Structure 1
Amino acid sequence: MSTEQSGGMNDNDRSITGFVMISHAVVHTYELSIPILMVIWLTEFDVTTAVLGTAVAIGYGLFGLGALPAGVLADKFGSRELVLACLAGMGGSFLLLGAAQGIVTITIALCLWGVAASIYHPAGLSLISTGVEQRGTGFAYHGMAGNFGIAFGPLITAVLLLFFDWRLVTGLLVLPAVIAIAYAVTASFDETAAVRADGGADADAGDGDGGPTSLAGFIEDTRTLFTFGFTIAIFIVMMNGLFYRGTLTFLPDVLSGFMPDVADQLQLFDPDSPMAEEFDPASYLYAGLLMVGMAGQFVGGKLTDRIPTETGLVAIFGSLAVVALLFVPAAEAGLASLLVVSVLLGFFLFALQPMYQATIAEYSPPGDRGLSYGYTYLGTFGIGAAGAAITGYLLEITSIAGTFAGLAAFPAVGAVLAVVLYRYGERP
């Protein structure tokens, strides 16, 4: 009886799944630790939110822009070496961050991080699709690990900052990449086991010879892919990316303006101790908001099997627009309402991800699925990175309430586009 029939993962499946799980968690640990560090950089280097937001947007933008070439390289050279290069590059960039003397060094380090991190998603997802026979289980564990990094990366960073200087903390954050590399070096797996098990006929997985082999082929595949429905779906992905990055990048700093001094009220530390000075309750609320996102991912994923994805997108985007408009009034009303609106923001923000991922699958042909997700990550992380610069600029020229009102435009447009997709989009 095969593993597919028995429902169990074989040794190769487990080895690959373990590799991509730890690598995926590391990528998002770094991604979401950056906003925590930004709170310190704003003071340490006396930069404006507009300047720092632009610097971070460049790094985050490269995180998305590198997805397309990374996908081509994964098809040509295999995934294992590319993921190793990704991990090494991210670790090295955080070493450089620890030595930063100003905004220029921070920008360079974040650019290096973005280039390295951009490799992961095309290479990691390709590895699962070609090497793991129990693909559904592999993708599920992969997603859970990513959520773990998203939720606990900021928490770990915030806790470390209680005890150590931020420069040392960035150095300590290199350790997850080192651990992941050590696992990869000792792990043994076959990258193409699933393709051979399928007789090489799986269009989604590929056979190591898939994808465009020339610029002309790439352009032709792109032209075929971008139907009206897929184009609208990509614009929906962009609205998600702009709101996601725009909201989360400065959220720790924004929350710090609304959070009461919990440490002083509860007498957690000696008021004159260094720990009391470093303790920032907003960082922990931020981490908690991201943990709630794990529930949003689960619910959003379940809904994709039960309702049309366009309907789900309209409902979730609409909810996010309302939450964005109510965020500041709720935060100003007190701690309880701040906690409630933060939970709602985290839930709906991450419920969007499985919904738009399923939508992309429905509006792209199976043979171009890898290319379609390359464009998806370009839209989410590449174009979406502009959200950080937009938020930084809005914080400079208007109030926090005005900033959130401006950000609400992205999910509002996303909801309208989802209606258009529902009415006029045609699936392949």
Structure 2
Amino acid sequence: RRGDGGEGGDAGDSDTGGDGKAGAGVESFAELVSQSKHLFAGGFALVFALVMFSGLYYRGVTTFLPDLLGSVIGIEPIPVSALLPAGLVSGSAGRAPTLDVELFVYAGLLTVGVFGQYVGGKLTDRIRTERGIVAGFGALAVIAIAFLPVASLGVGPLLAICALLGFFLFMVQPFYQATVAEYTPAGLRGLSYGFTYLGVFGVGALGGAIAGYILTVADSTALFAVLAGFAAAATLLGVTLLRRRPTPA
């Protein structure tokens, strides 16, 4: 891993004496406030904002996506009887069980995310994490804008855009986690990840509420436009980090 150059390397070098304190943990509220101020004084403030937008996008898109696939895009449930031999089908057709296809599509999206995380993890050792963030969130912004138009073209395009969404949705996670470490003083590493998960799962949880509100007062097109805005904001933060951090010699 690279530790030279920019704010990430400087912070780690300048805080060598803080490792002992980190081992003892935060012993008082005043110490927590002091260490938090030290943490947010550098580039971590931008990283924290970035992970908040990541959490908002993730929760915003995953909370209602199965319902959107079924109602807005129009994936109809498949009767189980259509998949069975005629001799095994009995009872009223109105009471026949059905398979919710949108749930299988959603499960496939999450499965593709496994490969996204793997690729993202590999790339963190090959390229600067800021570049991965810019590429990943830039792709998520484009996917949010294109999702409904592409999905309406048919089953094939729907599966393709869902696969891309799942891939990039999880690919960005190794990048922002590595970025947290690079922009954090060594003695404050544990505190930084505490704030990171506060941003992703705490503030990010509002993404579901925001998505629900938008679907109540507007429509799915407005929802995906807002999601694109979240991803675009994260992309701009990544560009800012990339410009602020000198290229290693």
Which of these residues, 352, 361, 366, is aligned with residue 186 of structure 2? 366
Show structure 1 runs of 5+ residues with no match.
Answer: 1-202
Is 1:251 matched up with 2:81?
Answer: no
Distance 2:39 2:129 in 1: 19
TM-score when normalising by structure 2? 0.83
Distance 1:274 1:378 in 2: 45
Distance 2:32 2:226 in 1: 36
Q: What is the SS of the residue equivalent to 2:104? A: helix
Once the two structures are superposed, residues 2-52 of structure 1 have per-residue CA deviations (whole angstroms, 9 ceiling, x without a partner) of xxxxxxxxxxxxxxxxxxxxxxxxxxxxxxxxxxxxxxxxxxxxxxxxxxx
Is 1:272 matched up with 2:94?
Answer: yes
In structure 2, the partner of 1:378 is 198
Distance 1:266 1:413 in 2: 47
Is 1:287 matched up with 2:111?
Answer: no
In structure 1, the partner of 2:237 is 417
In structure 2, the partner of 1:303 is 123
In structure 2, the partner of 1:406 is 226
Query: Where in structure 2 are the equivalents of 1:10-409 lying within 5 Å?
Result: 203=19, 210-257=24-71, 258-261=73-76, 263-264=78-79, 267-268=82-83, 271-276=93-98, 279-409=99-229
Shift of 1:215: 0.6
Assess if the C-alpha contact under 8 Å between 1:316 and 1:351 holds in 2.
yes
Q: Which amino acid aligns with 1:347?
A: F
Assess if the C-alpha contact under 8 Å between 1:230 and 1:363 holds in 2.
yes
Call closer, same or farther: CA 1:323–1:265 in 2, change over 3 Å.
farther
Provide the identity percentage: 48
Assess if the C-alpha contact under 8 Å between 1:324 and 1:408 holds in 2.
yes
Distance 1:212 1:274 in 2: 59
In structure 2, the partner of 1:113 is none
Assess if the C-alpha contact under 8 Å between 2:54 and 2:231 holds in 1.
yes
Q: Which amino acid aligns with 1:272?
A: G
Shift of 1:415: 0.5
Q: What is the SS of the residue equivalent to 1:408? A: helix
Q: What is the SS of the residue equivalent to 1:228? A: coil
Number of aligned residue pairs: 221
Shift of 1:422: 1.2
Q: Which amino acid aligns with 2:219?
A: S
Once the two structures are superposed, residues 237-256 of structure 1 have per-residue CA deviations (whole angstroms, 9 ceiling, x without a partner) of 01100000000011111111
Q: Which amino acid aligns with 1:268?
A: L
In structure 2, the partner of 1:43 is none
Distance 2:124 2:34 in 1: 30
Shift of 1:396: 1.2
Shift of 1:227: 2.6
Shift of 1:423: 1.3
Shift of 1:259: 4.6
Shift of 1:273: 4.0
Distance 2:245 2:43 in 1: 4
Shift of 1:365: 1.4
Distance 2:75 2:223 in 1: 22
Shift of 1:272: 3.4
Stretch of structure 1 that moved more, 400-409 or 289-298? 400-409
Assess if the C-alpha contact under 8 Å between 1:252 and 1:282 holds in 2.
yes
